[in-house]
Amino acid sequence: MRSAPTILHLDMDAFYASVEQASKPSLRGKAVIVGGLGPRGVVATASYEARRFGVHSAMPMAQARRLCPNGACLIPRFSLYREVSELVMGLLRELSPLVEPLSLDEAFVDLEAGGVAFDAAGARAVGERLRADITAATGLSGSVGLAGSKMLAKVASEEAKPDGLLLIEPGTERDLLAPMSVRTLPGVGPATGEHLRRAGITTVGELAEAGEDELVRMVGKAHGAGLYRMALGLDDRPVVAERDAKSVSVEDTFDVDLHDRVRIRNEVRRLADRCVGRLRASGHSGRTIVLKVRRYDFSTLTRSETLRGPTDDPAVVREAAARLLEGVDTTGGVRLLGVGVTGLADYTQEDLFAQVRAAEADTDPGVALESGAVVPDGADAASGTAGAGAAVGGPEGGGAAVAPVGSPEGSPVRHWAAGSDVRHAVYGPGWVQGSGVGRVTVRFEGPGSPPGRARTFRVDDPELEPSDPPALVGPG
């Protein structure tokens, strides 16, 4: 712990959705939901306007549509998110050589190492200036936490959301943490939180009062001792610059052992999707898929499969994890499941065959589908060039989406995913608002323009072509 709040944590506000709003003027101030648009798609992030309807990340997209029927549901554009992230991280590196990125939209900064702040007043001034610089450069907002440790700085940025700054003065940590939920602390997930709740512990203050010995008895030596230190606000971890991620993984421990093989398969599928979400958020792809299974007797099995090249395709990861599961005996029950990706790279080798299989599985050409639920999860989310289009409820709403009708004989069917970038030979750059019944609706506008007009074309219009995302600029 430091004697001054000189560790800064930046967390961009609703990052993916905010980038979409900044680059699409007609969506500013509107509900925006970014994620997979297929039947099994999940929400990557939602704008604050959509969150008022109960939409949140990791929610099935179908549920998000029901809660927020007029929200604009868009595919992610990771190439643009990475570009904006690099700009923001560049601003952080101007403050200090010790910048520890956690994802595309989140990082720690050691202000002392940069010589820009050594006390509370200096740290606050740096934080406010950083927020202003980010807005000027990108048009986006970020929340800043300042404290004497990484844990408390992250807690502070979360409390400051959205678009705020919170500084925790050394010596006030326990009073600040005491009324907060135990889920506020890093490493306290749903299972641990429920275990503590059953023991009558729901706040950080109650956790501290329980004492280290009791927590060790409840959750084990390593975890119990760590929980107690965090409840006291103690954290001595340094800011580590540019850590190279070697793997990305997610895992869940179940309160009751799983015996149903179908349930186990579904959990592996869900974990694979979450893992890919983290993989993409880190700006990586990976070549080796890893399945972890802890059985009823605490024995742990690990299986892996190495692909021909790195991927961030959720369909590919799901299929590999499912194949690995087939070789594992789950008789007797499963306590924990995990899916990970190793052999990380900063590029993706597209598995076109997997995309075709996903498209064939998720769509049936010529058959009407649920509104918007027509883009396969196997689509290339960064380019938006695979999968059928989806109606988008936005400024003008949207109707039911169907698989597009065929193009002239001998030419491939063209698909337009909602939110993807296009250029028309006459009207210039725009983005796909919706697609269906052989038509695609495009709104012609960009980051520096006023809200644009929407026009509808045939899906095979030769003057309409996919395009790269436009560069994001600040508000003027």
Residue 106: active-site member: yes
Are 401 and 435 contacting, i.e. CB atoms less than 8 angstroms apart?
yes
Peptide bond into 475 cis (omega under 30): no
List residues bridging with 456 in a β-sheet.
Answer: 441
Task: Encode 16-54: b = buried (16+ Cβ within 10 Å), e = exposed.
Answer: bbbbbbbbbbbbbebbbbbbbbbbbbbbbbbbbbbbebe
Q: Tell me if residue 428 falls in helix, strand or coil.
A: strand
N-term to C-term CA, the chain? 41
With a CB cutoff of 8 Å and minimum separation 6, the contacts of 348 are 285, 310, 311, 312, 313, 382
CA 247 to chain centre: 16
Q: Tell me if residue 351 falls in helix, strand or coil.
A: coil
With a CB cutoff of 8 Å and minimum separation 6, the contacts of 63 are none
* CA dihedral angle for residue 86, residue 92, residue 97, residue 101, rounded to 10 degrees: -60
DSSP symbols for 189-206: -HHHHHHHHHTT--BHHH
Task: Encode 335-369: b = buried (16+ Cβ within 10 Å), e = exposed.
Answer: bbbbbbbbbbeeebebbeebbebbbeebbeeeeeb
Distance CA 143, CA 285 (A): 28
Q: Which of 20, 49, 106, 173 is catalytic?
A: 106
Helices (H), 14-161: 15-23, 48-51, 61-67, 78-93, 120-138, 150-160
Q: Tell me if residue 396 falls in helix, strand or coil.
A: coil
Query: Could you list the active site residues?
Result: 106
